[in-house]
Amino acid sequence: MYDRKSLFFAVLVLWLIVAVVFVGSTIWRNETTNGTSTLRPIEIREYEGQKLSSVDDFRENSIKGPQFIDNESHRLVVTGLVNNEIEYTYGDVISNHQLFKKVVTLHCVEGWDVTILWEGVLVKDLIEAAGVDLGAKVVIFYAYDGYSTSLPLDYIINNNILMAYKMNGVVLPPERGFPFQLVAESKYGYKWIKWITEIELSVSVDYRGYWESRGFSNDADLP
């Protein structure tokens, strides 16, 4: 038989174990990116003094619901007006290119917005590796679910537009666009294409993507 003192300490030890497991699952963990070890929390909610929205603060409004993509089989291709078409694996993109971070707010035409710390690679780095033809004017993005949109090549290059693979320090969840989402800053959310599978360089300035072909502005500029 246990006496009261022994039972008390047994319960105390059990609670301490539970507390350690809980705290250990939510506080800082180690991550290695491009050989550099950094510490980060599960989800960053503040960055350089700026408050961030949560990964869960988005509304689900994709055309076919969340897509679930295997990063081992996923391929990102750069096609169109390039000297050499390139096929990237997920690892190629995030391991062989410089990574950048930006806090950017996504504004949806439905009236809501989220401010997120995005991390990823520059689209211009991906396309320049393919050798962009001088005639190219437009970058067309295609998604796993059939969605598409386009942006001027000059906009992509001059604004250092990111293709993100992380948000608030965590890898994009499937519903947020894993493996890659475009961070089309200064544009409405329908230009922020998720689940990117193809980047095409084109001369077609009249190209209209999914929502643009249904009456939305092709410029999508924020007021």
Which residues of the chain fall below pLDDT 50? 1-2, 11, 13, 16-41
Question: What's the confidence (pLDDT) of residue 42?
Answer: 87
Question: What's the confidence (pLDDT) of residue 36?
Answer: 40
Task: Tell me the DSSP string of the chain.
Answer: ---HHHHHHHHHHHHHHHHHHHHHHHS-EEEEETTEEEEE-SS--EETTEE---GGG-----SS------TTT-EEEEEESBSS-EEEEHHHHHHSS--EEEEEEEE-TTS-EEEEEEEEEEHHHHHHTT-B-TT--EEEEEETTS-EEEEEHHHHHHTT-EEEEEETTEEPPGGGTTT-EEE-TTBBGGGS-BSEEEEEEES-TT---TTGGGT--SS-B--
* Class of CATH domain 44-214: alpha beta
**pLDDT tens digit string along 63-78?**
999 999 999 999 999 9
Question: What's the confidence (pLDDT) of residue 12?
Answer: 53
Domain ranges of the chain: 1-42, 44-214
**pLDDT tens digit string along 126-136?**
999 999 999 99
